[in-house]
Amino acid sequence: MSGELKPPRSRIDEIDRKLVELMAERMNAVRAIGKSKSTDTEAPLRDHSREQEVQARWQGEAETHGLSSYFTGRILREVMNYSRRVQEELLDRSQNTTHVRQLRVGFQGVSGSYSDLTLTKLFSERPQCRLERKGFASFARAVDALENGDLDYALLPIENTIAGSLNETYQLLADRQLSIVDEEILPVDHCLVGLKGAEVEQLRVIRSHPVALQQCTIWLNKLSNCATEGTTDTASSAEALLNNNDPHEAAICSEEAAGRLGLTILERNIANQAHNYTRFVLVAREPETVDARRPARMSLILMVNHRRGSLAKCLDAFARRQINLSKLESRAKPESPWEYQFYLDIEGHREDPKVKEALDEISSHANTLKELGCYPRRSVFGEDLVPEEHVAEEVASAKPEAKIVSNASLRRSGRKPAHEPSIVKIGGVPIGAGHFMLIAGPCAVETRAQITAGARMVREAGGQVLRGGAFKPRTSPYSFQGLGFPGLELLCQAGGAYELPVITEVLRLEDVNRIAQSADALQVGARNMQNFELLKKLGKIDRPVLLKRGLSATVADLLAAAEYIMAGGNQQVILCERGIRTFETATRSTLDISAIPVLKERTHLPVIVDPSHAAGRRELVLPLAAAAVAAGADGLIVECHPDPDNAMCDKEQALTREDLDELVASIKSMGRML
């Protein structure tokens, strides 16, 4: 170690020890609150106003000390999630004895597998439990041991955000007498690992669990002359490397498994999608009680009567009581060809009167209704969002909507009587039906430093989606045309660093699929609004599309363009008013504020406004944005830049960080939540 580095590193080590000590003190205070709540059954588990106060105070303190409010806020979110987990475990513990329990938990795999890591996370705040872990060669053998009394619990993966549902787990839940008593969601970071000195170009075989291989197909397909082989689990595939001692072999597993075995990480983040999560369920022989204050989930198996409308009546029983259905999946009954059973997940507690009523009503339409369990609902997303019931209140208190104008030619985009406004999500961020979205970022991706700084200013100001042009349609052939796919890669990396989904413009048919593999949403610019072949292609992908109104297009033209996309099967369309060409020259375009309420009459789709391109001047963007929000827009898309004076594109209309903060304050002052 260099002599100059030793003193500051020693200082960092000292500070880190103090941070851990302070965290321990904070958790002791959290436990004191949790113990109070465990005896006071009327006390709510979460105090949202208190959490917002703490978040605001952290942000202010961070800015006072010259720190990034985004990164300190990110730390706070994790601390709050940890605090909630601690309090939830105290609620459960209050119902049990205080002595230490020896728990035998089975899982498929070996030490270091993702199932093993999930057990560590799930039981991390249960000091009253001493865990005895037992690995098995298959899910079925773990369940056999549970049913025979050799285990207290078994942990089973049930679905993955890339690979989908695990059929074997669902079949076990259907065939065996098991109860789901808990769940855990684990972020999965697949690493390619090998022996020391191994090189990716020299690999001839890569081994892992078949599901892990399925999640990494895009990266694996780039390798030539390299075969893949399935194994019982990810960690055992890593162990096989040591036994075979062949530098031409590699495995896909967790970083923890590689570290435990002393293997070299050759590549990180090789999954098909950046967001890769696996949901696990903890099953037992008998159901367990869940405190009514905890967010809960119920899993069900349903067999309906073979009569017309039976399934619809069952689902309507949940809808009329505003019970959210988070999963619905059909599976064929092996013993009865062409008959199906349905797997459902609902968000609600078994003892909730509305849930009881719904289940009672469904029973009259079902041949079979099997409850797989009521258990705590855990999530890696949305912990700091406004609760759903608050959004519902905001929508209910909104002004009465204008009359509905129907158009028979708009079969999918048109507004129908009793048709609720649609909600579209960009990377998990919702827009529509009371959800407001702010999209911001540079006009064009210029350099890594520029787009990273842009992502930081968007996140710290409160923006939810990062925009940036990798391909730029310019009026002059001599203007900057964008960096192309290298620019898209920089945009996605910046968005990932600041947990912002990204949107970018697509210009050509042949680029649609490739851009859709990386970006969370695709934008169609004003010049391409009536590029019908491009719109048809966008109708075939599973990505939201932000469709801008053409320079001389009418509202009817815009809706007809949306219809092209939706007719192809993609219903995730966001409409954007960006100004139209008139005889007025004071602004770049004339922002048609009246288009917002007119579109609200005619379509159920979210409507967003781009004041930047309408204004063409920085000082006009904020007042136009305020007018759009007041007129009922569901969101805004604006241009900002960390150094507007040196921007390579549209510098005159790019907002500064101070402008962006003022815009967010204006949005919130009008009662719209970000």
Q: Which residue among 231, 278, 504, 603 is the active-site one?
A: 278
Q: How far apart are CA 294 and CA 266, in angstroms?
A: 42
Q: Residue range 368-397: average pLDDT?
A: 63
Q: Measured between alpha carbons, how far is residue 11 from residues 3, 17, 22, 288 in Å? A: 14, 10, 17, 48
Comparing 191-267 with 426-669, is the CATH topology the same? Answer: no
Q: How far apart are CA 418 and CA 271, in angstroms?
A: 42
Q: Residue range 535-556: average pLDDT?
A: 95
pLDDT over threshold 90, residue 479: no
Domain spanning 426-669, CATH class: alpha beta
pLDDT over threshold 50, residue 389: no
Which pLDDT band holds residue 395 (cuts at 50, 70, 90)?
very low
Q: Residue range 589-605: average pLDDT?
A: 95
pLDDT over threshold 80, residue 360: yes
Q: Note the pLDDT of residue 657.
A: 94
Q: Residue range 131-141: average pLDDT?
A: 93
Q: Residue range 481-504: average pLDDT?
A: 93
pLDDT in tens, 569-579: 898 999 999 99
Q: Note the pLDDT of residue 72.
A: 86
Q: Note the pLDDT of residue 394.
A: 47
Q: Which of 248-257, 333-342, 497-506, 593-602 has the lowest mean pLDDT?
A: 333-342
* Assigned fold of 289-390: Alpha-Beta Plaits (3.30.70)
Number of H helices, E strands in the chain: 22, 25
DSSP string, 551-580: TT--HHHHHHHHHHHHHTT---EEEEE--B
- Per DSSP bridges, beta strands 153-160 and 101-108 are parallel
pLDDT over threshold 60, residue 542: yes
Q: Note the pLDDT of residue 51.
A: 82
Residue 280 annotated in active site: yes
CB 170 within 8 A of CB 301: no
Domain spanning 103-185+278-284, CATH class: alpha beta
CB 493 within 8 A of CB 528: no
> Going by C-beta distance under 8 Å and a sequence separation of 6 or more, which residues neighbour residue 243?
none
pLDDT over threshold 60, residue 530: yes
Taking CB atoms within 8 Å and a gap of at least 24, the contacts of 578-583 are 578/526, 578/548, 578/549, 578/609, 578/610, 578/613, 578/614, 579/610, 579/613, 579/614, 579/615, 580/549, 580/550, 580/551, 580/552, 580/553, 581/551, 581/552
pLDDT over threshold 80, residue 44: no
Q: Which of 39-43, 213-217, 435-439 has the lowest mean pLDDT?
A: 39-43
Q: Residue range 89-96: average pLDDT?
A: 59
Q: Note the pLDDT of residue 392.
A: 47
Which pLDDT band holds residue 563 (cuts at 50, 70, 90)?
very high
Q: How far apart are CA 249 and CA 244, in angstroms?
A: 8
pLDDT over threshold 60, residue 396: no
Beta bridge partners of 283: 154, 180
Q: How far apart are CA 201 and CA 244, in angstroms?
A: 19
CB 539 within 8 A of CB 570: yes
Share of the chain above pLDDT 70, in %: 90
Residue 596: closest CA among 580, 611, 576, 614: 576
What are the structural domain ranges in the chain? 48-90, 103-185+278-284, 191-267, 289-390, 426-669
Which pLDDT band holds residue 91 (cuts at 50, 70, 90)?
low
3-state DSSP helix/strand/coil percent for the chain, to nearest 5?
40, 25, 35
Q: Measured between alpha carbons, how far is residue 218 from residues 214, 228, 267, 349, 517 in Å? A: 9, 13, 14, 40, 10
pLDDT in tens, 446-466: 999 999 999 999 999 999 999
Q: Residue range 398-403: average pLDDT?
A: 51
pLDDT in tens, 175-229: 898 999 999 999 999 999 999 999 999 999 999 999 899 999 999 998 988 999 9
Which pLDDT band holds residue 397 (cuts at 50, 70, 90)?
very low
Q: Which residue among 123, 280, 436, 471 is the active-site one?
A: 280
Q: How far apart are CA 89 and CA 290, in angstroms?
A: 11
Average pLDDT, the chain: 88
pLDDT over threshold 50, residue 386: no
Q: Note the pLDDT of residue 385.
A: 43
Q: Note the pLDDT of residue 382.
A: 43
Q: Note the pLDDT of residue 32.
A: 87
* Assigned fold of 191-267: D-Maltodextrin-Binding Protein; domain 2 (3.40.190)
What is the pTM (predicted TM-score) of this model? 0.71
Phi and psi angles of residue 328, each rounded to the nearest 5 degrees, phi first: -145, 120
Q: Note the pLDDT of residue 353.
A: 94
Which pLDDT band holds residue 303 (cuts at 50, 70, 90)?
confident
Which pLDDT band holds residue 393 (cuts at 50, 70, 90)?
very low
Answer with the residue of higher pLDDT: 330 or 597.
597
